[in-house]
Amino acid sequence: LHVTYNRKFMMLSDTGSNGFYRCPVSKGLIVTSCAATAGVAMAGLGSIGVASGTVVHPTDALRLLTSQFASEHVRDCIMSSVVLYTFRVFERRFGSRKFANALFSSAVLSACFHIGTLAFCRSRGIQLQLASGPYPFVFSLLIPFLFDVPSTRSAAVPLFTTKTFIYLLATNLVVSQGIGSLVCSIAGLLSGLLWRFDILSLQRWLVIPSSISDAVEGILSPLLMTPPPSNLPTGGTLQIQREQLLDEQERLLVRHSYQMHQMLGNQQMGRGARPNNQQSLSGSPMSHHDVQEEQVQRLVEMGFTRQAATHALSSSNNNLEVAMNFLVSN
């Protein structure tokens, strides 16, 4: 059997009613942002953004870190939370650890841009108050959203696409706090570009240390993990229902092929032979050498075993998206 998978970026279509399922980092980020905004509002602190006249004080380091989570206005917190909730699809695509590293890189790079901008304004005698809010995370993730997520035209409003609403929210955040929000937005976009195109190999060295990641994951995972949905809703149109049915059939086919590969491997190993040939969904023989090592490594980085990743890629005709969806759903 051969299944033709023509939809681009299948993992990004998995955004229905699953909520924060497989998105603990996104859940923690949004909860932290909302809690910080509520705390600032109840304390009556107003704007906590760092100003150019006080950038040299040691306490401004903590203030600069806090200002990346707490929004000055509740409306900004709501808009940024909606955008970040949409961007949780990147955590499903990258895996939680790589997604956390992307957010960490954005925060560090944006902080460097902020400090440089404030120092420049201070030397020129320019008064600048940076905006407070999750601008580094929103606008850095806007870069992969722009380049990697496909858009389709709306049938009701031809001028709008499926991504227009997110762009409108981002535009409102840019102008919400004047020059300060514009500077923070530009810093977030620049950090997102640097990370997206891996300038200076940022994705390799600007990461959270493994010891810290393991410790935080062990402590916060029980609090942030969301159980899988018991039953996913059916699409509202015949086209969506047809696509969901094809997805389910494909998952069943890949699962059946995967189980057959395991049975074949166990039988050959029991006879003392090494399983060197497998059969793909199209019926043609496919060996482990036909599987691209880069795709195997991407699945291994997401937490799957090498054997499971290799079998899934072989079973799905070397289709990374299909293999990823099969491994996640099983």
pLDDT digits (tens, 9 = 90+) for 32-89: 999 999 988 888 776 677 766 655 555 666 677 778 898 988 999 999 999 999 999 8
CB atoms within 10 A of CB 82: 15
Question: Torsions phi, psi of 55, nearest 5?
Answer: -65, -20
Q: Is the pLDDT of residue 8 over 50?
A: no
Flag whether pLDDT at 23 surpasses 80. yes
Q: How confident is the model at residue 9 (pLDDT cuts 50, 70, 90)?
A: very low
**What is the per-residue pLDDT for 307?**
84
Give the model's pLDDT for residue 327. 78
What are the two backbone dihedrals, phi and then psi, of residue 278, each rounded to the nearest 5 degrees?
A: -130, 165
Give mean pLDDT, residues 117-132.
88
pLDDT of residue 294: 80
> What is the chain's mean pLDDT, rounded?
77
Cα–Cα distance for residue pair 80/78, rounded to 1 Å = 6
- Tokens for 76, please give them: 């900004």
Quick check: 86 and 166 in contact, CB under 8 A? yes
Expressed in angstroms, the distance from the first to the final Cα of the chain is 21
pTM assigned to the model = 0.66
pLDDT digits (tens, 9 = 90+) for 289-325: 467 788 888 888 777 888 888 888 887 777 777 777 7
Residue % of the chain over a pLDDT of 70: 70
